[in-house]
Structure formats: structure tokens, C-alpha cells
């Protein structure tokens, strides 16, 4: 039997691509397309919202149903639906950004009753980079300097990216560094010689770049570069749907994309 998927934030850019990919996935069934109660597209058939989403269901704001909820909406919308998912036993995949500490705590509270994945990035390749970047840093040791550079489109409001910060966090955890103490954001003036444990962080904003991340490791004798480039935002939709298929039926708790990749 196929896994019934509800998508919250279905009228947004990511929601539309999630619907398009969901209807083509043999393991999944698009059961519900959700938005907030005053969304201008409420009542419209989803294929009229995205022609690739070949389904007769309409955009709605009703009660949640299905096996898994994928939420790429707003922080407030995510919290409301997370509470509903917990009450109804619906697994939850969260891709919404900008949640504050209290809102993140609400999502974590839901994980006491249902399985939840809340990832900073749903790209399968990026989540592989998280693991490999940490393993490389641990293996090379203190003689290698580490720098992280990320590039995104010129409309991105925050810097550095959440993905770049996640890479730094994984490296710090693997090597005993302190993220707050050792992370250095760019350099200017006369900062002095580079300290052994610091991790440089650099953000570029360029045209329509979807998302590039490179981790540099360099000693006095050699350099390694680990790079991931997202070619289209569809990569995030594809990864979120794979997460949904994996999460359905799991025990309550907080999971990571690393669990999806490596079990």
C-alpha cells in the first residue's frame, strides 16, 4: 500500500515541487494539499497550481489526514500542524526555516508522540557531506586548516547559510572544537596569524546560485577540497519525499537525514 502524504505550504514554491514529485512517486500518494485559511489559491485543483502535479485534489485548510505530513510553510503554521500531527499520530517532516527556540521546542515536543525529521537541508548529497566533512577533519588532525565557503543567490537574506553552519557543527563535534569560540566569519584588517583550531566561514551572494558549499582542508604540503553544488531546488523536494517514505511507521522520536541515508 502507498504512503499517504499531506503537504503543508503546498501553494508555495517548495510545496508545488513537493506535490509534483509526490504524484510521480510509486511509493507515495498525495492525500492532502494544505495552506493557511486565507491563502488566495484555496479551492484550486493542484494541477492548476503546478501542471506537473497531476492530481484532482484541491488546496485546502482543513483537518490533517494521512500517514506523513511534509511541512514547508511558516514557523507559526508548522507549530500548529506539528501539534495536530502529534495528536493524530501522523509522522512529520519539517523543512520550514526561521523557527525560533520556542517553536523548535514545540516540534521536539511532538517527537515524544510521533516520528519527526527536522533538517536544515534535505539534499541527500549535502547530508552525505555533513558526515564525510567531519570524518575528513577527524582523520587529518590539527595540522590541517579548515575553511568553509558557501555561495547562494543574491536574494538570500541570511548569512552564513544554515547548511554551512551545520557542516561547521559536525566538524566541531568530531574534532572537539567549540563552534562559538573557533568559528571565524571572514577576515578584515589585521586579524593576525591564523590560530590552529579556528574554522573560517565565508559567504558569497551571486546571481541565481542555488547553493554551493566547499570545505577546504590544507596543511603546509597539500590541500583537499570537498564540494557540493545544488543544480536545482528540486533536490530539496526529492530529499524530503525520500525522508517521508522512510519515516512512515517509525517509532516516535527525533530523526536526522543521516538516519535516512545510513539507517
Tell me whether residue 112 is one of the annotated catalytic residues.
Answer: no
Catalytic residue chosen out of the listed positions 4, 88, 156, 250: 156
Alpha-carbon gap, residue 25 to 20, rounded angstroms: 9
DSSP state of 3: E
- DSSP-assigned beta bridge partners for residue 141: none
Q: Which residue is associated with the grid cell 500500500? A: 1
Strand 91-94 relative to strand 115-118: parallel, antiparallel, unpaired?
parallel
Residue 41, C-alpha cell as written in the block: 489559491
Catalytic residue chosen out of the listed positions 152, 170, 213, 228: 152
Alpha-carbon gap, residue 263 to 259, rounded angstroms: 5
- DSSP-assigned beta bridge partners for residue 122: none
Tell me whether residue 152 is one of the annotated catalytic residues.
Answer: yes
- DSSP-assigned beta bridge partners for residue 68: 5, 91
Which SS3 state, helix, strand or coil, does residue 214 take? Answer: strand
Hey, which residues are catalytic here? 152, 156
Amino acid at each position: 500500500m502507498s504512503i499517504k502524504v499531506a503537504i503543508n505550504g503546498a501553494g508555495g514554491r517548495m510545496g508545488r515541487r513537493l506535490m509534483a514529485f509526490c504524484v510521480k512517486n510509486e511509493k507515495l500518494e498525495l492525500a492532502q494539499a494544505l495552506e493557511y485559511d486565507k491563502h488566495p489559491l484555496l479551492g484550486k485543483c493542484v494541477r492548476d497550481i503546478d501542471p506537473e502535479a497531476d492530481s484532482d485534489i484541491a488546496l485546502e485548510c482543513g483537518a490533517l489526514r494521512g500517514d506523513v505530513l511534509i511541512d514547508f510553510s511558516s514557523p507559526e503554521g508548522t507549530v500548529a500542524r506539528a501539534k495536530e500531527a502529534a495528536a493524530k499520530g501522523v509522522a512529520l517532516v519539517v523543512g520550514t526555516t526561521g523557527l525560533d527556540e520556542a517553536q523548535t521546542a514545540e516540534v521536539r515536543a511532538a517527537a515524544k508522540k510521533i516520528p519527526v525529521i527536522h533538517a536544515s537541508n534535505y539534499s541527500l548529497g549535502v547530508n552525505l557531506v555533513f558526515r564525510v566533512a567531519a570524518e575528513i577533519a577527524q582523520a587529518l588532525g590539527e595540522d590541517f586548516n579548515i575553511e568553509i565557503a558557501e555561495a547562494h543567490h543574491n536574494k538570500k537574506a541570511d548569512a552564513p547559510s544554515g547548511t554551512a553552519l551545520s557542516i561547521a557543527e559536525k566538524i566541531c563535534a568530531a574534532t572537539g572544537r567549540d563552534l562559538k569560540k573557533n568559528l571565524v566569519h571572514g577576515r578584515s584588517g589585521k586579524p593576525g596569524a591564523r590560530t590552529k583550531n579556528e574554522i573560517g566561514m565565508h559567504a558569497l551572494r551571486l546571481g541565481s546560485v542555488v547553493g554551493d558549499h566547499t570545505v577546504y582542508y590544507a596543511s603546509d604540503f597539500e590541500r583537499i577540497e570537498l564540494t557540493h553544488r545544488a543544480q536545482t531546488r528540486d533536490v530539496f523536494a526529492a530529499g524530503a519525499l525520500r525522508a517521508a517514505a522512510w519515516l512512515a511507521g517509525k517509532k516516535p522520536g527525533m530523526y536526522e537525514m543521516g538516519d535516512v541515508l545510513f539507517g
